[in-house]
Protein backbone atom coordinates (compact mmCIF):
# COMPACT_ATOMS: atom_id res chain seq x y z
CA UNK A 1 0.00 0.00 0.00
CA UNK A 2 1.25 3.47 -0.93
CA UNK A 3 -0.05 6.93 -0.11
CA UNK A 4 -1.81 6.87 -3.46
CA UNK A 5 -3.74 3.78 -2.35
CA UNK A 6 -4.51 5.49 0.97
CA UNK A 7 -5.77 8.55 -0.86
CA UNK A 8 -8.43 6.48 -2.60
CA UNK A 9 -9.22 3.95 0.11
CA UNK A 10 -9.46 6.37 3.02
CA UNK A 11 -10.37 9.72 1.46
CA UNK A 12 -12.26 8.79 -1.71
CA UNK A 13 -9.98 10.76 -4.03
CA UNK A 14 -8.64 9.14 -7.19
CA UNK A 15 -5.03 9.94 -8.15
CA UNK A 16 -4.50 10.05 -11.90
CA UNK A 17 -1.38 10.60 -13.98
CA UNK A 18 -1.23 13.75 -16.11
CA UNK A 19 1.10 12.28 -18.72
CA UNK A 20 1.17 9.66 -21.47
CA UNK A 21 4.25 8.50 -23.37
CA UNK A 22 4.90 5.51 -25.57
CA UNK A 23 7.96 4.41 -23.60
CA UNK A 24 5.75 4.31 -20.46
CA UNK A 25 3.48 1.88 -22.31
CA UNK A 26 6.13 -0.27 -23.96
CA UNK A 27 8.53 -0.23 -21.03
CA UNK A 28 5.94 -0.99 -18.36
CA UNK A 29 6.22 2.26 -16.42
CA UNK A 30 2.49 3.00 -16.65
CA UNK A 31 1.69 -0.47 -15.32
CA UNK A 32 4.09 0.16 -12.43
CA UNK A 33 2.35 3.43 -11.60
CA UNK A 34 -1.02 1.67 -11.63
CA UNK A 35 0.41 -0.86 -9.18
CA UNK A 36 1.50 2.08 -7.02
CA UNK A 37 -2.05 3.47 -6.96
CA UNK A 38 -2.57 5.56 -10.10
CA UNK A 39 -6.18 5.08 -11.23
CA UNK A 40 -6.43 7.00 -14.53
CA UNK A 41 -4.53 8.94 -17.18
CA UNK A 42 -5.08 12.32 -18.81
CA UNK A 43 -3.50 13.63 -21.98
CA UNK A 44 -3.63 16.83 -24.01
CA UNK A 45 -1.94 18.27 -27.12
CA UNK A 46 1.01 19.60 -25.12
CA UNK A 47 1.65 16.22 -23.51
CA UNK A 48 1.60 14.46 -26.88
CA UNK A 49 3.84 17.11 -28.40
CA UNK A 50 6.48 16.51 -25.72
CA UNK A 51 6.18 12.74 -26.08
CA UNK A 52 6.40 12.62 -29.87
CA UNK A 53 9.12 15.24 -30.22
CA UNK A 54 11.10 13.95 -27.25
CA UNK A 55 12.59 10.85 -28.87
CA UNK A 56 12.36 8.23 -31.59
CA UNK A 57 9.63 6.02 -30.13
CA UNK A 58 7.10 7.11 -32.75
CA UNK A 59 9.35 7.23 -35.82
CA UNK A 60 8.78 3.70 -37.13
CA UNK A 61 4.98 3.91 -37.00
CA UNK A 62 5.04 7.46 -38.38
CA UNK A 63 7.16 6.37 -41.33
CA UNK A 64 4.72 3.56 -42.11
CA UNK A 65 1.67 5.80 -41.77
CA UNK A 66 3.01 8.33 -44.24
CA UNK A 67 2.56 5.79 -47.05
CA UNK A 68 -1.20 6.36 -47.06
CA UNK A 69 -1.92 9.18 -44.58
CA UNK A 70 -1.39 12.91 -44.43
CA UNK A 71 0.85 14.22 -41.65
CA UNK A 72 -2.12 15.26 -39.52
CA UNK A 73 -3.90 11.94 -40.10
CA UNK A 74 -0.70 10.17 -39.07
CA UNK A 75 -0.57 12.24 -35.89
CA UNK A 76 -4.03 11.11 -34.84
CA UNK A 77 -3.13 7.49 -35.59
CA UNK A 78 -0.09 7.83 -33.30
CA UNK A 79 -2.29 9.31 -30.56
CA UNK A 80 -5.03 6.69 -30.87
CA UNK A 81 -2.43 3.91 -30.69
CA UNK A 82 -1.13 5.24 -27.37
CA UNK A 83 -4.62 5.86 -26.02
CA UNK A 84 -5.72 2.33 -26.95
CA UNK A 85 -2.67 0.78 -25.27
CA UNK A 86 -3.23 2.88 -22.14
CA UNK A 87 -6.90 1.88 -22.03
CA UNK A 88 -5.78 -1.75 -21.96
CA UNK A 89 -3.49 -1.11 -18.99
CA UNK A 90 -6.21 0.75 -17.06
CA UNK A 91 -9.11 -1.57 -17.93
CA UNK A 92 -8.69 -3.78 -14.81
CA UNK A 93 -8.99 -0.65 -12.64
CA UNK A 94 -12.11 0.35 -14.53
CA UNK A 95 -13.73 -3.06 -14.11
CA UNK A 96 -12.78 -3.43 -10.44
CA UNK A 97 -14.14 0.04 -9.61
CA UNK A 98 -17.47 -0.52 -11.31
CA UNK A 99 -16.70 2.13 -13.92
CA UNK A 100 -15.66 4.83 -11.46
CA UNK A 101 -11.97 4.92 -12.48
CA UNK A 102 -9.57 3.46 -15.01
CA UNK A 103 -10.22 6.17 -17.60
CA UNK A 104 -7.84 7.51 -20.24
CA UNK A 105 -8.61 10.91 -21.75
CA UNK A 106 -8.25 11.89 -25.41
CA UNK A 107 -8.77 15.54 -26.31
CA UNK A 108 -10.46 16.83 -29.46
CA UNK A 109 -8.37 19.06 -31.74
CA UNK A 110 -7.67 22.51 -30.24
CA UNK A 111 -8.98 24.15 -33.42
CA UNK A 112 -12.48 23.02 -32.41
CA UNK A 113 -12.57 24.95 -29.12
CA UNK A 114 -15.08 27.46 -30.53
CA UNK A 115 -16.86 25.10 -32.93
CA UNK A 116 -19.87 23.39 -31.36
CA UNK A 117 -20.83 21.20 -34.31
CA UNK A 118 -17.23 20.27 -35.07
CA UNK A 119 -16.67 19.28 -31.45
CA UNK A 120 -19.77 17.08 -31.43
CA UNK A 121 -18.64 15.30 -34.59
CA UNK A 122 -15.08 14.83 -33.32
CA UNK A 123 -16.13 13.54 -29.89
CA UNK A 124 -18.60 11.14 -31.47
CA UNK A 125 -15.93 9.98 -33.94
CA UNK A 126 -13.40 9.19 -31.21
CA UNK A 127 -15.93 7.29 -29.11
CA UNK A 128 -16.98 5.21 -32.12
CA UNK A 129 -13.40 4.71 -33.32
CA UNK A 130 -11.95 3.56 -30.00
CA UNK A 131 -15.19 2.07 -28.59
CA UNK A 132 -13.91 1.24 -25.11
CA UNK A 133 -15.92 1.87 -21.93
CA UNK A 134 -13.01 3.55 -20.15
CA UNK A 135 -12.39 6.23 -22.77
CA UNK A 136 -13.03 9.86 -21.88
CA UNK A 137 -13.11 12.33 -24.74
CA UNK A 138 -12.00 15.75 -23.53
CA UNK A 139 -14.02 18.81 -24.54
CA UNK A 140 -12.99 22.32 -23.45
CA UNK A 141 -15.46 24.29 -21.34
CA UNK A 142 -15.69 27.20 -23.73
CA UNK A 143 -19.05 28.88 -24.39
CA UNK A 144 -19.23 26.89 -27.61
CA UNK A 145 -18.07 23.71 -25.89
CA UNK A 146 -20.84 23.61 -23.29
CA UNK A 147 -23.69 22.72 -25.73
CA UNK A 148 -21.45 20.06 -27.29
CA UNK A 149 -20.88 18.62 -23.82
CA UNK A 150 -24.63 18.43 -23.21
CA UNK A 151 -25.15 16.79 -26.60
CA UNK A 152 -22.63 14.06 -25.80
CA UNK A 153 -24.29 13.22 -22.49
CA UNK A 154 -27.63 13.12 -24.31
CA UNK A 155 -26.10 10.34 -26.43
CA UNK A 156 -24.85 8.48 -23.36
CA UNK A 157 -21.16 9.24 -23.93
CA UNK A 158 -18.52 9.75 -21.22
CA UNK A 159 -16.75 13.11 -21.29
CA UNK A 160 -13.90 14.85 -19.48
CA UNK A 161 -14.61 18.59 -19.49
CA UNK A 162 -11.33 20.48 -19.59
CA UNK A 163 -10.02 24.05 -19.27
CA UNK A 164 -12.31 25.10 -16.42
CA UNK A 165 -11.15 28.31 -14.73
CA UNK A 166 -14.21 29.93 -13.16
CA UNK A 167 -17.07 29.05 -10.84
CA UNK A 168 -19.62 30.48 -13.27
CA UNK A 169 -18.48 28.24 -16.12
CA UNK A 170 -18.28 25.26 -13.76
CA UNK A 171 -21.94 25.77 -12.89
CA UNK A 172 -22.72 25.77 -16.63
CA UNK A 173 -20.84 22.48 -17.01
CA UNK A 174 -22.74 20.84 -14.15
CA UNK A 175 -25.99 21.99 -15.76
CA UNK A 176 -24.88 20.51 -19.09
CA UNK A 177 -24.32 17.17 -17.36
CA UNK A 178 -27.66 17.13 -15.56
CA UNK A 179 -29.61 18.35 -18.58
CA UNK A 180 -27.75 15.97 -20.89
CA UNK A 181 -28.65 13.01 -18.70
CA UNK A 182 -32.26 14.17 -18.65
CA UNK A 183 -32.17 14.39 -22.46
CA UNK A 184 -30.79 10.84 -22.56
CA UNK A 185 -33.67 9.63 -20.38
CA UNK A 186 -36.20 11.51 -22.53
CA UNK A 187 -34.78 9.68 -25.55
CA UNK A 188 -35.58 6.36 -23.90
CA UNK A 189 -32.55 5.52 -21.75
CA UNK A 190 -33.37 3.59 -18.59
CA UNK A 191 -29.84 2.92 -17.30
CA UNK A 192 -27.49 5.88 -16.80
CA UNK A 193 -24.76 3.91 -15.05
CA UNK A 194 -22.57 3.65 -18.16
CA UNK A 195 -22.30 7.46 -18.48
CA UNK A 196 -19.39 8.96 -16.61
CA UNK A 197 -17.79 12.40 -16.40
CA UNK A 198 -15.21 14.54 -14.67
CA UNK A 199 -15.00 18.33 -14.73
CA UNK A 200 -11.36 19.40 -14.85
CA UNK A 201 -10.81 22.55 -12.80
CA UNK A 202 -7.36 23.99 -13.54
CA UNK A 203 -5.77 25.15 -10.31
CA UNK A 204 -2.17 26.43 -10.31
CA UNK A 205 -2.66 28.69 -13.32
CA UNK A 206 -5.23 30.65 -11.32
CA UNK A 207 -2.61 31.62 -8.74
CA UNK A 208 -0.13 32.48 -11.49
CA UNK A 209 -2.55 34.96 -13.10
CA UNK A 210 -3.97 36.36 -9.85
CA UNK A 211 -0.49 36.80 -8.36
CA UNK A 212 0.59 38.70 -11.48
CA UNK A 213 -2.35 41.06 -11.09
CA UNK A 214 -1.74 41.49 -7.37
CA UNK A 215 1.89 42.39 -8.08
CA UNK A 216 0.74 45.06 -10.53
CA UNK A 217 -1.76 46.47 -8.03
CA UNK A 218 0.84 46.47 -5.25
CA UNK A 219 3.29 48.39 -7.41
CA UNK A 220 0.70 51.16 -7.75
CA UNK A 221 -0.25 51.26 -4.04
CA UNK A 222 1.19 52.82 -0.92
CA UNK A 223 3.64 50.78 1.12
CA UNK A 224 1.01 49.74 3.68
CA UNK A 225 -1.54 48.87 0.99
CA UNK A 226 1.07 46.93 -0.98
CA UNK A 227 1.88 44.77 2.04
CA UNK A 228 -1.79 43.91 2.44
CA UNK A 229 -2.24 43.20 -1.27
CA UNK A 230 0.84 40.99 -1.51
CA UNK A 231 -0.31 38.96 1.50
CA UNK A 232 -3.08 37.60 -0.73
CA UNK A 233 -0.66 36.03 -3.21
CA UNK A 234 -1.03 32.27 -3.50
CA UNK A 235 -4.51 32.18 -1.95
CA UNK A 236 -6.83 32.33 -4.97
CA UNK A 237 -6.44 28.92 -6.59
CA UNK A 238 -7.16 26.69 -3.60
CA UNK A 239 -9.94 29.01 -2.37
CA UNK A 240 -11.68 28.89 -5.75
CA UNK A 241 -11.29 25.11 -6.01
CA UNK A 242 -12.77 24.69 -2.54
CA UNK A 243 -15.71 26.85 -3.54
CA UNK A 244 -16.07 24.69 -6.65
CA UNK A 245 -16.29 21.62 -4.41
CA UNK A 246 -19.01 23.30 -2.35
CA UNK A 247 -20.91 23.99 -5.57
CA UNK A 248 -20.47 20.34 -6.57
CA UNK A 249 -21.98 19.16 -3.27
CA UNK A 250 -24.87 21.59 -3.65
CA UNK A 251 -25.74 20.75 -7.27
CA UNK A 252 -25.47 16.98 -6.85
CA UNK A 253 -28.21 16.78 -4.23
CA UNK A 254 -31.94 17.32 -4.05
CA UNK A 255 -34.92 15.91 -5.99
CA UNK A 256 -33.60 16.63 -9.49
CA UNK A 257 -30.39 14.73 -8.87
CA UNK A 258 -32.08 11.94 -6.93
CA UNK A 259 -34.37 11.27 -9.90
CA UNK A 260 -31.27 10.65 -12.03
CA UNK A 261 -29.60 8.57 -9.32
CA UNK A 262 -32.67 6.32 -9.36
CA UNK A 263 -31.75 5.49 -12.96
CA UNK A 264 -28.11 4.75 -12.10
CA UNK A 265 -26.48 8.17 -12.61
CA UNK A 266 -22.99 8.78 -11.24
CA UNK A 267 -21.86 12.15 -9.94
CA UNK A 268 -19.71 14.22 -12.26
CA UNK A 269 -16.56 14.37 -10.16
CA UNK A 270 -14.49 17.54 -9.84
CA UNK A 271 -10.99 16.89 -11.17
CA UNK A 272 -8.13 19.09 -9.99
CA UNK A 273 -5.84 19.68 -12.97
CA UNK A 274 -2.67 21.74 -13.35
CA UNK A 275 -1.62 20.72 -9.83
CA UNK A 276 2.13 21.04 -10.20
CA UNK A 277 3.41 24.15 -8.43
CA UNK A 278 4.46 26.87 -10.87
CA UNK A 279 5.91 29.23 -8.24
CA UNK A 280 9.01 27.71 -6.57
CA UNK A 281 8.24 29.75 -3.45
CA UNK A 282 5.13 27.64 -2.86
CA UNK A 283 5.19 24.07 -1.45
CA UNK A 284 5.46 21.38 -4.10
CA UNK A 285 2.14 19.85 -2.97
CA UNK A 286 0.30 23.15 -2.53
CA UNK A 287 -2.45 22.00 -4.91
CA UNK A 288 -2.62 18.38 -3.77
CA UNK A 289 -2.57 18.26 0.04
CA UNK A 290 -5.10 21.12 0.20
CA UNK A 291 -7.75 19.62 -2.09
CA UNK A 292 -8.32 16.10 -0.80
CA UNK A 293 -11.88 14.88 -0.42
CA UNK A 294 -14.44 12.29 -1.51
CA UNK A 295 -15.71 12.05 -5.08
CA UNK A 296 -12.77 14.01 -6.50
CA UNK A 297 -9.82 13.33 -8.80
CA UNK A 298 -6.36 14.86 -8.73
CA UNK A 299 -4.39 14.43 -11.95
CA UNK A 300 -0.69 14.95 -11.32
CA UNK A 301 2.43 15.06 -13.49
CA UNK A 302 5.21 12.61 -12.70
CA UNK A 303 7.18 14.85 -10.33
CA UNK A 304 4.07 15.67 -8.30
CA UNK A 305 3.16 11.98 -8.07
CA UNK A 306 6.67 11.24 -6.78
CA UNK A 307 6.45 14.10 -4.27
CA UNK A 308 3.12 12.87 -2.93
CA UNK A 309 4.40 9.32 -2.58
CA UNK A 310 7.37 10.70 -0.64
CA UNK A 311 5.84 13.29 1.68
CA UNK A 312 2.17 13.82 0.87
CA UNK A 313 -0.38 14.10 3.67
CA UNK A 314 -3.49 11.94 3.37
CA UNK A 315 -6.21 13.95 5.10
CA UNK A 316 -9.54 15.47 4.09
CA UNK A 317 -8.96 19.14 3.35
CA UNK A 318 -11.15 20.19 0.41
CA UNK A 319 -14.07 21.26 2.61
CA UNK A 320 -12.17 22.05 5.80
CA UNK A 321 -13.33 25.69 5.94
CA UNK A 322 -15.57 26.76 3.03
CA UNK A 323 -16.32 30.11 4.67
CA UNK A 324 -12.60 30.92 4.78
CA UNK A 325 -12.34 30.09 1.09
CA UNK A 326 -15.16 32.53 0.34
CA UNK A 327 -13.51 35.23 2.46
CA UNK A 328 -10.22 34.71 0.60
CA UNK A 329 -11.91 35.25 -2.75
CA UNK A 330 -13.71 38.33 -1.44
CA UNK A 331 -10.41 39.75 -0.18
CA UNK A 332 -8.85 39.23 -3.59
CA UNK A 333 -11.80 41.00 -5.18
CA UNK A 334 -11.48 43.86 -2.71
CA UNK A 335 -7.84 44.22 -3.71
CA UNK A 336 -8.98 44.90 -7.27
CA UNK A 337 -8.75 41.51 -8.99
CA UNK A 338 -11.77 40.54 -11.10
CA UNK A 339 -11.95 36.74 -10.85
CA UNK A 340 -14.40 36.51 -13.74
CA UNK A 341 -11.90 38.29 -15.95
CA UNK A 342 -9.16 36.01 -14.64
CA UNK A 343 -11.24 33.02 -15.78
CA UNK A 344 -11.79 34.46 -19.24
CA UNK A 345 -8.11 35.30 -19.63
CA UNK A 346 -6.97 31.85 -18.57
CA UNK A 347 -9.50 30.13 -20.83
CA UNK A 348 -8.23 32.11 -23.82
CA UNK A 349 -4.62 31.38 -22.89
CA UNK A 350 -5.35 27.69 -22.36
CA UNK A 351 -7.00 27.29 -25.75
CA UNK A 352 -4.18 29.24 -27.42
CA UNK A 353 -1.49 27.21 -25.63
CA UNK A 354 -2.91 23.86 -26.74
CA UNK A 355 -3.38 25.18 -30.28
CA UNK A 356 0.22 26.37 -30.35
CA UNK A 357 1.51 22.98 -29.16
CA UNK A 358 -0.60 21.21 -31.77
CA UNK A 359 0.48 23.49 -34.63
CA UNK A 360 4.15 23.27 -33.68
CA UNK A 361 3.96 19.49 -33.48
CA UNK A 362 2.29 19.19 -36.90
CA UNK A 363 5.01 21.43 -38.33
CA UNK A 364 7.70 19.30 -36.68
CA UNK A 365 6.13 16.14 -38.08
CA UNK A 366 5.87 17.76 -41.51
CA UNK A 367 9.58 18.58 -41.38
CA UNK A 368 10.32 14.99 -40.38
CA UNK A 369 8.13 13.69 -43.22
CA UNK A 370 10.00 15.88 -45.70
CA UNK A 371 13.35 14.64 -44.37
CA UNK A 372 12.24 11.02 -44.67
CA UNK A 373 11.02 11.65 -48.20
CA UNK A 374 14.30 13.28 -49.18
CA UNK A 375 16.27 10.43 -47.63
CA UNK A 376 14.32 7.79 -49.50
**Mean local confidence (pLDDT), 290-296:** 98
Per-residue model confidence as pLDDT tens digits over 73-102: 999 999 999 999 999 999 999 999 999 999
- In this prediction, residue 371 carries a pLDDT of 82
pLDDT interval class at 54 (50, 70, 90): confident
- In this prediction, residue 45 carries a pLDDT of 87
Domain-embedded: residue 228: no
**Mean local confidence (pLDDT), 59-66:** 92
What residues make up the domain containing 290?
A: 3-202+267-318+350-369
Domain-embedded: residue 250: no
Which CATH number covers residue 127?
Answer: 3.20.20.70
Q: Would you say residue 258 has pLDDT above 80?
A: yes
Please indicate whether residue 44 or residue 91 has the higher confidence score (pLDDT): 91
- In this prediction, residue 372 carries a pLDDT of 76
- In this prediction, residue 227 carries a pLDDT of 96
Write a three-state SS string for the chain.
CCHHHHHHHHHCEEEEECCCCHHHHHCCHHHHHHHCCCCCECCCHHHHHHHHHCCCCCHHHHHHHCCCCCHHHHHHHHHHHHHHHHHHHHHHHHHHCCCCCCCEEEECCHHHCCCHHHHHHHHHHHHHHHCCCCEEEEEECCCCHHHHHHHHHHCCCCEEEEEECCHHHHHHHHHHHHHHHHHHHHCCCCCCCCCCEEEEEECHHHHHHHHHHHHHHHHCCCHHHHHHHHCCCCCHHHHHHHHHHHHHHHHCCCHHHHHHHCCCCCCCEEEEECCCCCCCCCCCCCCCCCCCCCCEEEEECHHHHHHHHHHCCCCCCCCCCHHHHHHHHHHHHHCCCCHHHHHHHHHHHHHHHHHHHHHHHHHHHHHHHHHHHHHC
Domain-embedded: residue 249: no
**Mean local confidence (pLDDT), 340-364:** 94
Domain-embedded: residue 282: yes
Domain-embedded: residue 240: no
Domain-embedded: residue 215: no
pTM of the model: 0.95
Q: Would you say residue 376 has pLDDT above 70?
A: no
Domain-embedded: residue 246: no
Q: Would you say residue 375 has pLDDT above 80?
A: no
Count of the separate structural domains present in the chain: 1
**Mean local confidence (pLDDT), 325-353:** 96
Domain-embedded: residue 324: no
Residues with catalytic function:
138
Amino acid sequence: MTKLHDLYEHQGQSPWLDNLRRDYLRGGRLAELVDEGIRGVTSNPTIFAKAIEGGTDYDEQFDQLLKDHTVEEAYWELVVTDITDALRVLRPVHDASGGVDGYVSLEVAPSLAHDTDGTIKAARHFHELVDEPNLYVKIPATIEGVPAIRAMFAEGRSINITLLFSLERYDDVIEAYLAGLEDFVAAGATDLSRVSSVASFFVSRVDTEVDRRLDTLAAQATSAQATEILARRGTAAVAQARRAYALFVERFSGPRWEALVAKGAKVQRPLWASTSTKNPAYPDLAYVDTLIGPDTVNTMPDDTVAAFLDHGTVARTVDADPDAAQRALEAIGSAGVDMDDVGRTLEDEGVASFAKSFDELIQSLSDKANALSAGS
